[in-house]
Amino acid sequence: MMILFRSETTKLFTNVSTWVIAGVAVLATWPMALSNAGASNLPADDPRLFSSEPIALKFQGFEMAGFGYVLVVVLAALWAGSEYGSGMQIRTSLMATPKRGRLFLTKALLLAVSVGIIAFITMTGTIIITHMASSSGLDPWELSPETWEHLGGVTLAWTLTALISFAIGSLARTAILPLLLITPLVIGIGDFLAMFWSGAKYLPVAAGASMYSHPAAGTYLTPVTGGIVQGLWALGLLGVAYVSFCRRDV
């Protein structure tokens, strides 16, 4: 299993798009967080702000999660879809590792670890920068337990969403379908739907957002319920993709 993990790691990280996506996620989100926090150096309840509802410290900075979130969806879609591109690399992969279940699980695990690391670095840096650049009153180097919980939540949400994107890409054998289905959810279609359909909070991205978003910013489940719902989405789709990956002709 370790030689397979090593081989798939080489495959993932010798693709230039992986580094571009990971780099842009981190290096674009951090300056945006700095700009966002520094540009409106106003008290959180200042009436000139778009929302004069004070945002609790433990939620500040997490609104910057959206940009990198889209990028990890792209990374996961490409990770699944690139196997089925014009080169049909999947045939080489399956000839090298005919134990298909093992290959699928290794690919999913590697993606989860990679996205988890990208998410954690991106969002931890974002939260620290947010508190450094604003007058939030929170020591950026001593984040509260609640903030750490939300950092864990956002990391888990990105990771589970990436796995959902990967599962759909594997099922469809293309990167296009997960991008079409998941990207709109990540950029807020779920929140929009939630305005007139209460069931929208059970959509995978909205459920995941329950783990790190301010409850007043949308219609959310409790963090634990949200995590379970998103986890079930990921597990269900990965299960279907696993069976399909193991059984179909290529």
Q: Please report whether residue 17 would count as binding other proteins according to CB under 8 A.
A: yes
Q: Please report whether residue 4 would count as binding other proteins according to CB under 8 A.
A: yes
Q: Of 41, 52, 89, 198, which one interacts with other proteins (CB under 8 A)?
A: 89
Q: Please report whether residue 51 would count as binding other proteins according to CB under 8 A.
A: no
Chain centre to alpha carbon of residue 22: 12
The residues, any chain, with a CB within 8 Å of residue 147's CB and separated by 6 or more, are 57, 58, 127, 138
Chain centre to alpha carbon of residue 28: 16
Using CB under 8 A as the binding criterion, the count of chain residues that bind other proteins stands at 28
Shortest distance, CB of residue 234 to other proteins, whole angstroms?
25
Token pair in block for residue 207: 């459920």
Shortest distance, CB of residue 91 to other proteins, whole angstroms?
5
Shortest distance, CB of residue 158 to other proteins, whole angstroms?
23
Determine the interface stretch with other proteins among 1-9, 21-29, 146-154, 163-171 (rule: CB under 8 A). Answer: 1-9
Q: Of 15, 40, 124, 183, which one interacts with other proteins (CB under 8 A)?
A: 15
Amino acid at 234: A
Shortest distance, CB of residue 107 to other proteins, whole angstroms?
12
Q: Please report whether residue 105 would count as binding other proteins according to CB under 8 A.
A: no
Token pair in block for residue 114: 């990679």
Q: Taking the alpha carbons of 64, 122, 192, 227 in that order, is the dihedral positive or negative?
A: negative
Give the C-alpha separation, 160 to 150, whole Å.
15
Q: Please report whether residue 176 would count as binding other proteins according to CB under 8 A.
A: no
CA distances from 126 to 58, 62, 219 (A): 13, 8, 24
Q: Which is nearer to other proteins, 82 or 130 (CB)?
A: 82
Q: Which is nearer to other proteins, 19 or 148 (CB)?
A: 19
Contact indicator for 93, 77 with CB cutoff of 8 Å:
no
Q: Please report whether residue 250 would count as binding other proteins according to CB under 8 A.
A: yes
Q: Which is nearer to other proteins, 16 or 47 (CB)?
A: 16
DSSP 8-class letter at 56: P
Q: Which is nearer to other proteins, 180 or 250 (CB)?
A: 250
Shortest distance, CB of residue 203 to other proteins, whole angstroms?
32
Determine the interface stretch with other proteins among 36-44, 87-95, 128-136, 215-223 (rule: CB under 8 A). Answer: 87-95
Query: What ranges in the chain are assigned the alpha helix state H?
Result: 2-13, 16-39, 65-81, 89-96, 100-133, 145-172, 176-184, 190-194, 204-209, 223-247
The residues, any chain, with a CB within 8 Å of residue 177's CB and separated by 6 or more, are 168, 169, 171
Give the C-alpha separation, 227 to 207, whole Å.
7
Q: Of 47, 48, 50, 95, which one interacts with other proteins (CB under 8 A)?
A: 95
Which residues in this chain contact other proteins in the complex, by CB under 8 A?
3-4, 6-8, 10-11, 14-17, 82, 85-89, 91-92, 94-99, 247, 249-250
